[in-house]
Structure 1
């Protein structure tokens, strides 16, 4: 082991030295390139100054030449100066001043040049005014004085002096630029040599590592054998942990039962004791004590029925039932239970199948769900009860082992309350589990509904999003009367019969639940599409910004942070041709009534089959599906 540590230390030090050399070469290269760019900038600056000086000199000389022609020929066509000669000269002087502001010598020359140009410009303008007035003799007399020529000689001398100075600067700066280019080429050459050296050293180290790995193969085999042994021990410990969790759940259940039964027995015992004392004293108000005792006994009986429902061994009286009639008949009691702040809405499915369940227990389950929804909406809201026919396929049954493939009447109870986090949803069906304050609930409402549905051969599912509400779906098996021939479910189309996609059709799937994201993505890939995944609206927007070839976005409606509706608006704003398909565990009626999406939105509710999502995707991409007005 000591030799191995020494070998690794040598490698580490060698790599540090090699990368330090590379870093130094990189720094030199960067600084050399920076110097080269600065030198090039100075050369360009010198050329700009020279160009401006020549432009100024040409403007003055052109004006003077044209004015002489005007004096000689007395034809105004020979003179076409700028409308504001003095203004143009001043503007050029300002530009030159800005260019030479960093050079004191040139700035001093420019200061001497400025009054000469102003005087020369004023002289030209004076002669022009005389000539325009027809006083050519006076204008000619000004020319004969020679003042204009004297000024131009001084101006030429100063401009030539400034140009000569700039040419010398240009020569010096051009030499520096050439040296900087040579230095950069040298630095690049050194860097290439160093890179080659580091690469050779890396190959050498790689060969060393391969040799070391070969030597350690026996050690790895030994470690693998030890890992197998540890895995066996871990499996045994996990089995013990599961057993302890079962015992803990049983203890929780026993504690809850003991608590509630003690309360009820306390009422009964206290009432009977008081009743005995009253009978001994021959008092006449014993009826109240009898009522209290009977009330406690009745509550105990209800607790027993709930426990039997949870354990799925309660005696049921199933009869063929029309769920639409049951929901309609419960409207009055539901209105009284919910109270004024909560609106009740129903959506009854057409041609609803019959189901064979205990009507009283189904009413109790619906009432329990309504009470839970009411408590989740303390300031008011909306409760939606819906019925529909649905078929659960093998794909759904594989994801939900408690569900069986078949035809069901689904009864959905949706609210707009606070919702539940995933850890609470996982425990919602546990007996005596409740998030309500002490004395506000027994924690048996959902467990009773769960037990009743399972004992009736059905399936129950909770969809919930914090801040958006909860939807509980009761799947009750379809009942076919003896004189009615059961309709065979339509055969599930083979995968090759599904509407297929092409690899160039990119589908972005946005779902905050990882298991749901994985299942949906796997199914869409099976259909032949290329799939991108995002776990939030923000991540989806980043992908859309980076990818311009996405054809369709499939998004969950409820997600933390940016929800599906807002994500769709943001995405379509950036990509007007993007198609959107919404998916949700909530019923379509509840989604629309709550104003979460537009009525004509392209929506697919869970659970859905592979054939259903295949048709939805194809319709969206082929332009057959409706798009919401708010996200087009």
Structure 2
């Protein structure tokens, strides 16, 4: 379906056009003001040039006036040294030359004026020298020849031309400045009008929007009232549905109990009836009948204990316990229960913490979980029981609110059976829920283990993949000595400060491969929080495509259990293409169960779920800083 196009509203377009015109008017105003300032500067420049020309002309005329005064009065007070006059004239010429350098015509006139002034100055000095020698008549004769006057007239004519040129420029520039001033005033007036127009338009549009908002508010209120009515109606229907589900669950529960109790009571009643008949006839063979009745009674008592465990009201006798010793002690019964077609493997932590639980109930829970695992492997397989110390942090407990953060002893039971789809795994702990045929199971095994774990302040978690197997993790609180427990009661473990986490750099690119979207997003968010650049792929094929397209990927984090191409095969193909690529695996299964299933070697980089942000940060940093072995999983 084509994506719906979104256009701008008329109001928005109107405002955009109005503000564009306003911006253009502002630009014109600013440009006009700049032109007015430039015209004013040129007017001032013209006045400065005229002043310099007048000063130069005055200096020439003063020199001639001094000469005439000396001729008339013969008083040496009228005379100045030649160097002083030459310096003054040269200074005037230099000043004018600097001012008219950008005007070629004025510069040409100045170049003509300079030699005339020098020649006139030489004539004046010559006459002064003659008069100082006392020959005033010869000096007067030079004056009468008219050479000096002709030279002066030429100088005056050139200066007059330059002044006339500057006058013309002054008038032209003054006119430009007047025009610029008029244009500026017009632009300012237009700008004021435009601002007023935009303001009026904005007010009108705002009023229109407010009117539409009021109508929308009324419609929203009406829709809200309808929603409340619909929600109330739906709530009533949901309450009825929940009641119906409760009745159905109670019926299912009653039916399951009735079925099992009828079987057990049938054995007891039948055995007692036959026993009574044999007693009347004084016949032998009574012990098997008594044993059969006792067995039925024992099974009924066990069913009651399971019901109490599920309801979390069974009486427990918790004592400090070494789980490793319990698992070792159960080896014989587990081998007999599982049968020859199931291979049992145990991986026990050497420094396992003690826990404080009811040993009999824990043994029953482990046995029930093992039996369920056996039934999931009808053609044989491997069952792995593993123990280890672990710590559940605030991040894990946020996702599982019924769990308290702290230190736990973990018992992991993994099988290589048929596995469960997500919808079945979600109901695995429900009472009397079973996928086995009628008469093959009560459906209380997992619910009994769940009830026992909860009543013992512990936790149980299930991971399963269809065709891959199931992993059950049973968490039991670590037991501290009485003195330690009094001094340091269990408290939520705070996350270590962020600066303690090994950080990444944006240049370090991490590819996360996970078929479960929510799990992939959660892992990607954590890796981004650590400062890395993250790419995501939902399958092995997409990961290979990204590796071909991007040569700068530093690390690939992949789930092990994925459809079509599992994590081990993906890692081999990825490392074959990129020998320098670092690979890290994540999985909900235990490390030993995965390794013994032949999927991965035990020395590869593996992080098991659940993991904290600190654990993820340290593991990524370790993998990137120290090259791990290449995976050798199954083809």
Q: How far apart are the structure 2 equivalents of 1:214 and 1:569?
A: 62
Which secondary structure does the structure 1 equivalent of 2:291 belong to?
helix
Q: Indicate whether 1:574 and 2:577 are aligned.
A: yes
1:299-333: CA deviations, max 9, x gaps?
11110011111111111111111111111112222
Match of 1:141 in 2: none
| Aligned pairs for 1:275-314 within 5 A | 275-314=275-314
| Partner of residue 589, structure 1 | 592
The answer for the alignment partner of 1:101 in structure 2 is none
The alpha-carbon deviation at position 239 of structure 1 amounts to: 4.0
| Aligned 1:612-627 pairs, distance under 5 A | 612-621=615-624, 623-627=625-629
Is the aligned partner of 1:246 residue 2:242? no
Contact 2:394 2:495 in 1 (8 A): no
Counterpart of 2:519 in structure 1 is 516
551, 554, 560: which is aligned to 1:557?
560
Q: Does 1:261 align with 2:272?
A: no
Question: In the TM superposition, what are the counterparts of 1:174-573 in structure 2 within 5 Å?
Answer: 217=216, 221=220, 222-223=222-223, 225-482=225-482, 492-573=495-576
In 2, the alpha carbon distance for the partners of 1:455 and 1:502 equals: 45
**How well do the aligned residues superpose, as a CA RMSD in angstroms?**
2.8
Residues 337, 371 of structure 1: 8 Å contact kept: yes
Instruction: Write out per-residue CA displacement over residues 310-369 of structure 1, whole angstroms, 9 at most, x where no aligned residue.
Output: 111111111111111111112222222222222221111021110111111111111112
Residue by residue, what CA displacement relative to the aligned partner does 1:53-102 show, whole Å, maximum 9, x if unpaired? xxxxxxxxxxxxxxxxxxxxxxxxxxxxxxxxxxxxxxxxxxxxxxxxxx
Paired residues, number? 422
Q: Retained in 2: the 8 A contact 1:599–1:628?
A: no
- Quick check: 1:602–1:628 contact (8 Å CA) kept in 2? no
Question: Taking structure 1 as reference, are residues 367 and 573 closer, same or farther at Cα in structure 2, changes over 3 Å only?
Answer: same
| Greater radius of gyration (CA) | 2
Q: Relative to structure 1, is the Cα distance of residues 506 and 484 closer, same or farther in structure 2, using a 3 angstrom cutoff? A: same
Indicate how the Cα distance of structure 1 residues 248 and 574 shifts in structure 2: closer, same or farther if over 3 A, else same: farther
Could you say what secondary structure the match of 1:479 adopts?
A: coil
CA distance in 1 between partners of 2:449 and 2:495 (Å): 31
| Structure 2 alignment gaps of length 5 or more | 1-207
Q: Secondary structure at the match of 2:474?
A: strand
Q: Deviations over 1:509-530 (max 9, x none)?
A: 2222333223222222222223
Task: Return 507-516 or 584-593, whichever deviates more.
Answer: 507-516
Aligned-residue offset at 1:287:
3.5
> Does 2:609 match 1:606?
yes
**Off by >4 Å, runs of 4+ in structure 1:** 213-220, 222-225, 483-491
Q: Would you say the 8 A contact 2:415–2:469 is kept in 1?
A: yes
Is the contact between residue 511 and residue 517 of structure 1 (CA under 8 Å) also seen in structure 2?
yes
2:268–2:293: 8 Å Cα contact kept in structure 1? yes
Distance of 2:261 and 2:452 partners within structure 1: 22
Q: Check conservation: 1:602, 1:625, Cα contact below 8 A.
A: no
Residue 275 of structure 2 contacts residue 289 of structure 2 at CA under 8 Å; is this kept in 1?
yes
Contact 2:582–2:627 (8 Å) recurs in 1: no
Shift in Å, 1:605: 0.8
Equivalent residue runs for 1:55-66 within 5 Å: none
Q: Aligned equivalents of 2:509 and 2:594: distance in 1?
A: 27
Partner of 2:169: none
Residue 118 of structure 1 is matched in structure 2 by none
Secondary structure in 2 aligned to 1:509? strand
With over 3 angstroms needed to count, the CA separation of the structure-2 counterparts of 1:514 and 1:442, relative to structure 1, is same
- Give the whole-Å Cα distance in 2 for the aligned partners of 1:285 and 1:348: 47
